[in-house]
């Protein structure tokens, strides 16, 4: 199985009062690990209190809210994964050609 890259989860917490990102855990660990292992860093996903609350209730529709940093980062990650899998997944034409060979 090919590893497409790493995701740094819980990368900072957006302060609900001032909007500043608070580093709750060590910073840049995902970037450093990706570089060390020669992998792509797909995303750094922050903690968002709204997503925690809604996720616990089974509702992830907040990921459609472009005002939330996590939604923007998550969607960038998804776009990157789609792009990478299009590059690495053989097309149907390639599969048909292999059957003929």
Q: Indicate whether 92 belongs to any domain.
A: yes
Q: Indicate whether 51 belongs to any domain.
A: yes
Give the distance from CA 48 to its chain's centroid. Answer: 14
Q: Indicate whether 76 belongs to any domain.
A: yes
Q: How confident is the model at residue 97 (pLDDT cuts 50, 70, 90)?
A: very low
Cα(46)–Cα(43) distance, rounded to whole angstroms?
Answer: 10
Helix/strand/coil for 67: coil
Q: Is the pTM of this model over 0.75?
A: no
Helix/strand/coil for 30: helix
Cα(69)–Cα(14) distance, rounded to whole angstroms?
Answer: 8
Q: Indicate whether 34 belongs to any domain.
A: yes
Domain count, the chain: 1
Q: Indicate whether 1 belongs to any domain.
A: no
Range of the domain at 66: 6-100
Cα(83)–Cα(13) distance, rounded to whole angstroms?
Answer: 28
pLDDT at 38 over 90: yes
């Amino acid at each position: 199985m090919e590893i497409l890259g790493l995701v740094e989860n819980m990368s900072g917490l957006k302060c609900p009062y001032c909007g500043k990102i608070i580093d709750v855990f060590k910073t840049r660990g995902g970037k450093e690990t990706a570089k060390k292992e020669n992998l792509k860093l797909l995303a750094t996903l922050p903690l968002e209190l709204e997503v925690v609350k809604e996720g616990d209730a089974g509702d992830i529709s907040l990921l459609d809210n472009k005002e939330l940093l996590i939604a923007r980062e998550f969607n960038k990650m998804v776009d990157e994964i789609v792009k990478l899998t299009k590059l690495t997944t053989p097309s149907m034409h390639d599969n048909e050609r292999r059957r003929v060979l």
